[in-house]
Amino acid sequence: MDEITRRGSLALGAGALATAGLIGARPAGAAIPVADVPAPKQPIEAGATLRVIRPTKFVDPDETIWNANTEKFTKATGVPVRVDFVGWEDLRPQVAVAARTGAGPDVVVGWANDPHLYSDKILDMTELATYLGKKYGGWGALPQKYGKKFGSDTWIALPMGCGGGALVWRKSWVNEAGYSTVPDDLGKFLDLCQKLKKNGHPPGFALGNAVGDGNGTATWLLWAHGGYQVDDKGQVAINRKETIAALKYGAELYKTFIPGTLSWLDPSNNKAYIAEEISLTQNGVSIYFVAKNDPKTAHVAADTEHSRMPGSLNGKAPEAANTLNAMVFKHTKFPNAAKEYLRFMMEAEQYDPWLTKCLGYWAHPLLAFDQSDCWKSDPKIIAYRDAQKMQFWDGYKGPINAAAAAVSSEYVLVQMFAGVASGQQTPEDGVKEAERRLRRIYKS
Amino acid sequence: MDASTWVPTRTPPNLLARLFDYKPFLICVCLAPALGLLLVFLTYPLGLGIWLAFTDAEIGRSGSWVGLENFDSLMEDRVFLNAVWFTVFYTAAATVVKFALGLWLALLLNHHIPFKSIIRAIILMPFIVPTVLSAIAFWWIYDPQFSILSYVLVDVLHWRDTYIDFLGTPWAARWSLIAANIWRGIPFVAITLLAGLQTISPALYEAALLDGASPWQRFRFVTTPLLMPILAVVLTFSVLFTFTDFQLVYAITRGGPINSTHLMATLAFQRGIPGSQLGEGAAIAVAMIPFLVLATLLSYFALARRKWQQGPENE
């Protein structure tokens, strides 16, 4: 497998040259602090070709820069790469087919839990991840969680970007309600929301079956009150007084929301915020950029601030982040080429332009990129820079597995909060219902 | 050698020729391609789906046989029972209205009116637009903040003070979805029934007219019985389409609020694919089969009976 052929070594040489050349030239501005660590030896197999699938773009540069970087890789190594961009919800079934049949894409850039569903079918990434970590100031807490096999130090995936959430709020309206900034204390936050509502600028958090935003609301409320769906051994632990407290708080908070949040899907809060119907919500960086880039809504962007979600627990903000997690299947004929491709994409010369042009939509997992120009261009998006520092994850505090993924895609927690908030269920009934479903999903 | 000495000898047909003359064999050979296609594209997926329903398969992990465990669990699952109930209700409510309005529309279009062809083409519009597009249009129409209906009622006509929360409460959401389904389904019913109406010979109406039949009597005793066979077919199809509807609900509510608008199809998808519980998703899909068979048998046998069509005296 590690046979070095003439063409392979030539390609490698060309790759090394290209990399060295770029480092020598140090493109202006990209001052990412780098430690001098030798890259792992991954001689590219002769005649290698790669197929990559990844989720479809959210902003245009996500696709164009990705493709440009891939072309650079092909030029440097001679390895032709085909990249397929797949709909966000189609990705999981496609990966499942690849895993089941042992054919298909060599490199999969999937979602956070995907690699964990196939940990015995994918290549070990420890060497590559350790190299990147050492070179770029270490991995953030969340990528470490998603990259390593649960409860071990073995890397099975390479987290590539974290699409974080943050509290998005209108400064003038929050000030008008008597607060200079959004308080972290949950009691004061409720008071703020009540005052916002009284002033005719209600907040709005999605409580409908919205993959990102609905689950975001539910897990925020649960985690902020010290609740969790399962304990660290994967035993269902939803039926605790913390959950009841979270549900009661959620019901109080819901009274301050704009009407209709029970039916909100992912784009709803974006639309409502940009139309100035709501004063405060949780979202990715997209609201801000859409508002900023349209002259008609520039004043909304100018009045917008971002901060961590309130209710931090021992200093940990109750948030997770949507993470791009790359893996290489064992069935690939060109494992080294696949790993080299991932390494190439993660090196600052390629990664930094991608990060910057995507406006930080996928925040970096490697801490050195805190220094990227991306985060200097606009101080208002700093909150999104820190997505990789979050210490909660999908399925907290249990293992990252298929069950954790099922809980969010079946909206179990969202329905629990929505049912209680709308007054259809008592908190106790809501918890019992969720517990039943969780037990079924976690088979415990 | 001249012709008189030539004795025609029939070489006995070889084995292959005899084989192809053998009728049972020929039947098998001719049926094989069709059977093969059915097996590969119909029986196998259906069989696999049914088999999955009795396993605990997950995406990425082939399951083992668990018998009726999936169904046992579904029986106590409030969300599933609610989905079954809503699917039946959705189908019934939408079908009744679709047929009433569709028939009415077909009768109107059957008259000679100016621009008949253009109007008929326009009627088909909701049917031509891809469901997902119309679903997204309805999603905007039902938006809690940006609904055109709310805008007209509140900001233009000032009939209401607050925006309508179409999808925010279970019953409002259910009726909103049914309305969208009706809008989408009417053209199919109207156009097929119109085709049925056109096959009725005008002579029959003339005869009825000469006998002094009122318009209602003409409808009741001429149109209805002759329309019955096509009505049965259209009803069957319409029930099947509505019962297995997926796109409207998935695009507009995803089963929310509070899981109140899940259809069996959307729930099966949600549990099976994004939720990766293939076995349970398959079980929900399999649970649809008895309903579909029942609906088909009922509408087909009941409505296609001659007695219904031509009256009891016409055996």
Distance CA A58, CA A75 (A): 26
How large is the average pLDDT for residues B100-117?
87
Q: Is B148 on the interface with A (CB under 8 A)?
A: no
Check CB contact under 8 Å for A275 and B144: no
Q: Looking at chain A from residue 74 to 93, which residues have their Cβ under 8 Å from any Cβ of chain B?
A: 89, 92-93
Residue A402: its chain B contacts at CB < 8 A? Answer: 58-61, 276
Q: Is B273 on the interface with A (CB under 8 A)?
A: yes
Maximum Cα–Cα distance for chain A, whole Å?
74
Q: A245 CA to chain B: closest CA distance, Å? A: 20
Q: Is A100 on the interface with B (CB under 8 A)?
A: yes
Classify residue B7 by its DSSP letter: P
Q: A395 CA to chain B: closest CA distance, Å? A: 13
How large is the average pLDDT for residues B214-219?
88
Check CB contact under 8 Å for B145 and A272: yes
Residue A411: its chain B contacts at CB < 8 A? Answer: 254-256, 259
Q: Is A372 on the interface with B (CB under 8 A)?
A: no
Q: B33 CA to chain A: closest CA distance, Å? A: 27
Binning pLDDT at 50, 70 and 90, where does residue A11 land?
Answer: very low
Ranking A320-329, B155-164, B180-189, B242-251 by mean pLDDT, the lowest is B155-164
pLDDT in tens, A90-146: 888 888 888 888 888 999 999 888 898 888 889 999 999 999 999 999 999 999 999
Residue A440: its chain B contacts at CB < 8 A? Answer: 73
Both tokens of B196, joined, read 């049925």
Contact by Cβ (8 Å): B185, B257: no
Which of A89, A91, A201, A209 should one mutate to test binding to chain B, selecting the residue with the greatest count of B CBs within 10 A? A209
Q: Is A429 on the interface with B (CB under 8 A)?
A: no
How large is the average pLDDT for residues A428-432?
94
Distance CA B193, CA B101 (A): 11
Residue A259: its chain B contacts at CB < 8 A? Answer: 144, 162-163, 165, 168
Give the pLDDT confidence score for residue A104 in this predicted structure: 87
Q: Is B84 on the interface with A (CB under 8 A)?
A: no
Check CB contact under 8 Å for A271 and B143: yes
Q: Is B58 on the interface with A (CB under 8 A)?
A: yes
Q: B66 CA to chain A: closest CA distance, Å? A: 13
pLDDT tops 80 at residue A315: yes
Classify residue B65 by its DSSP letter: B
Distance CA A348, CA A77 (A): 18
Residue A230: φ, ψ to 5°: -135, 155
Which of A217, A262, A278, A281 should one mutate to test binding to chain B, selecting the residue with the greatest count of B CBs within 10 A? A262
Both tokens of B82, joined, read 């609610």
Distance CA B119, CA B299 (A): 30
Q: Is A441 on the interface with B (CB under 8 A)?
A: yes
Give the pLDDT confidence score for residue B179 in this predicted structure: 94
A210 to chain B: closest CA residue = B254
A419 to chain B: closest CA residue = B258
Delineate the domains of chain B, giving CATH numbers in brackets.
Answer: 14-53 (no CATH), 74-310 (1.10.3720.10)
Give the pLDDT confidence score for residue B3 in this predicted structure: 55
pLDDT tops 90 at residue A79: yes
Q: Is B171 on the interface with A (CB under 8 A)?
A: no
B76 to chain A: closest CA residue = A436
Contact by Cβ (8 Å): B172, B150: no
Give the pLDDT confidence score for residue A5 in this predicted structure: 44
Distance CA A189, CA A307 (A): 13
Binning pLDDT at 50, 70 and 90, where does residue B114 land?
Answer: confident
Q: B297 CA to chain A: closest CA distance, Å? A: 34
Which residue among B76, B145, B165 places its CB closest to the CB of A275?
Answer: B145
Q: What is the DSSP string of A117-141?
A: HTTTTB---HHHHHHHHHHTT-B-H
Closest CA to B238 of B47, B41, B103, B49: B103
Q: Hey, is A425 helix, strand or coil? A: coil
Check CB contact under 8 Å for B169 and A262: yes
Check CB contact under 8 Å for A409 and B257: no
Ranking A183-187, A348-352, B74-78 by mean pLDDT, the lowest is B74-78
Residue B255: its chain A contacts at CB < 8 A? Answer: 209, 411
Residue B78: its chain A contacts at CB < 8 A? Answer: 433
Give the pLDDT confidence score for residue A27 in this predicted structure: 46
pLDDT in tens, A204-217: 999 998 888 999 99
Query: How many interchain CB pairs under 8 A, A with B?
Result: 120
Closest CA to A33 of A47, A23, A19: A23
Distance CA A271, CA A263 (A): 14
Give the pLDDT confidence score for residue B306 in this predicted structure: 57
Both tokens of B219, joined, read 């409808």
B61 to chain A: closest CA residue = A100
pLDDT tops 90 at residue A300: yes
Binning pLDDT at 50, 70 and 90, where does residue B309 land?
Answer: low
pLDDT tops 50 at residue B292: yes
**Which has more confidence, B138 or A16?**
B138
In this structure, which amino acid lies at residue A283? N
Question: Cis peptide before B257, with omega less than 30 degrees from 0?
Answer: yes
Give the pLDDT confidence score for residue B84 in this predicted structure: 95
Distance CA A305, CA A292 (A): 12
Binning pLDDT at 50, 70 and 90, where does residue A4 land?
Answer: very low
Q: Is A276 on the interface with B (CB under 8 A)?
A: no
How large is the average pLDDT for residues A385-394?
91
pLDDT tops 60 at residue A277: yes
**CA A123 to centroid of chain Cα atoms:** 22
CA distances in angstroms from A395 to A173, A215, A231, A320, listed in the order given: 35, 11, 9, 10
Residue A59: φ, ψ to 5°: -120, 150
Q: A150 CA to chain B: closest CA distance, Å? A: 18
Binning pLDDT at 50, 70 and 90, where does residue B83 land?
Answer: very high
Which residue among B165, B168, B254 places its CB closest to the CB of A209?
Answer: B254
Which of A113, A201, A270, A410 should one mutate to test binding to chain B, selecting the residue with the greatest count of B CBs within 10 A? A410
Q: A391 CA to chain B: closest CA distance, Å? A: 24
Distance CA A424, CA A427 (A): 10
pLDDT in tens, A17-67: 444 444 434 444 457 888 888 888 889 999 999 999 999 887 788 899 999
Delineate the domains of chain A, giving CATH numbers in brackets.
Answer: 6-163+321-389 (3.40.190.10), 166-318+410-442 (3.40.190.10)
Binning pLDDT at 50, 70 and 90, where does residue B182 land?
Answer: very high
Give the pLDDT confidence score for residue B312 in this predicted structure: 53
Check CB contact under 8 Å for B254 and A99: no
pLDDT tops 70 at residue B315: no
Check CB contact under 8 Å for A418 and B256: yes
**Which has more confidence, A407 or A6?**
A407
Check CB contact under 8 Å for B259 and A415: yes
Binning pLDDT at 50, 70 and 90, where does residue A335 land?
Answer: very high
Q: Hey, is A246 helix, strand or coil? A: helix
Residue B77: its chain A contacts at CB < 8 A? Answer: 437
**CA A192 to centroid of chain Cα atoms:** 28
H helices of A78-198, where?
91-101, 114-117, 126-135, 141-147, 171-176, 186-198
Give the pLDDT confidence score for residue A23 in this predicted structure: 42
Both tokens of A225, joined, read 């009150």
Tell me what percent of the residues of chain B surpass a pLDDT of 90.
Answer: 30
Average pLDDT, chain A: 88
Binning pLDDT at 50, 70 and 90, where does residue B122 land?
Answer: confident
A102 to chain B: closest CA residue = B60
Residue B143: its chain A contacts at CB < 8 A? Answer: 260, 268, 271
The top-scoring range by mean pLDDT among A385-394, B154-163, B250-259 is A385-394
How large is the average pLDDT for residues B190-203?
90
Residue B259: its chain A contacts at CB < 8 A? Answer: 411, 415
Mutual angle of helices B278-297 and B78-110, in 10-degree steps: 40
Contact by Cβ (8 Å): A248, A417: no
Q: Is B169 on the interface with A (CB under 8 A)?
A: yes
How large is the average pLDDT for residues A306-330?
92
Check CB contact under 8 Å for A405 and B163: no
Residue A441: its chain B contacts at CB < 8 A? Answer: 275, 277
Both tokens of A176, joined, read 């008008």
Give the pLDDT confidence score for residue A318 in this predicted structure: 93
Check CB contact under 8 Å for A410 and B58: no
Check CB contact under 8 Å for B60 and A441: no
Classify residue A371 by its DSSP letter: G
